[in-house]
Structure 1
């Protein structure tokens, strides 16, 4: 298994926010932008309004794990950012996973 390549720099996030396409549901916001690479790069943002660090890290872990299990079905060549919304703090893994699947399908990135 290869490790997921992540977006880390603020300028990368800003570029995708300004030039990318967004898709929204009640738990997550998805930003995508083609990156002309043979891999996808993942960024996850959890706002401080969600809660303290323990809650934010839990939401981040749920998003990362859901993405990891779907990664092989997602088209390559995109920078992908998931931004959590307020309702995500009360969501379980199944809720996050189905919300992510819905957004990826809406964006036309998932093969299932």
Structure 2
């Protein structure tokens, strides 16, 4: 994903975290804040409690980024959102990660409609 699609600054993370609405499922927590902008922005957080090794945390982040890239056309362009992984997310395959992310994003109202998972 290009840099313009990412939330990187701590102040922007905190703004979405403090003023946004949250929804969750077993594997992910989504914080969302609506803004007037040309495209969505996403921040991904996988803490040390989730995966004890950097390899594990980076794999979870790669799965999340790839899932979001595949869902990009269906994501609300006016959303700034954070995806925070929970501990069970380390045991998911790529397909399971995408399925769980679709569920969480649909609950948050970020995805336009239900998507078929392949």
Moved over 3 A (4+): none
Cα distance per residue 1:59-110 (max 9 Å; x no partner): 0000000000001111111111100000011111111111111111112221
* Structure 2, gaps ≥5 residues long: 114-118
| TM-score using structure 2 length | 0.89
Per-residue CA distance 1:3-32 (angstroms, 9 max, x = gap): 361010111111111100111001111111
Aligned Cα root-mean-square deviation (Å): 1.3
Which residue of structure 1 lines up, in the alignment, with residue 9 of structure 2? 9
1:33 aligned counterpart, secondary structure: strand
Alignment gaps of 5+ in structure 1? none
SS at match of 1:101: helix
Contact kept? 2:44, 2:84, Cα under 8 Å: yes
Aligned to 1:51: 52
Residue 51 of structure 1, CA deviation: 1.7
Distance in 1, matches of 2:34 and 2:54, equals 31
Cα distance in 1 for partners of 2:112, 2:79 equals 14
Partner of 1:19: 19
Aligned length: 111
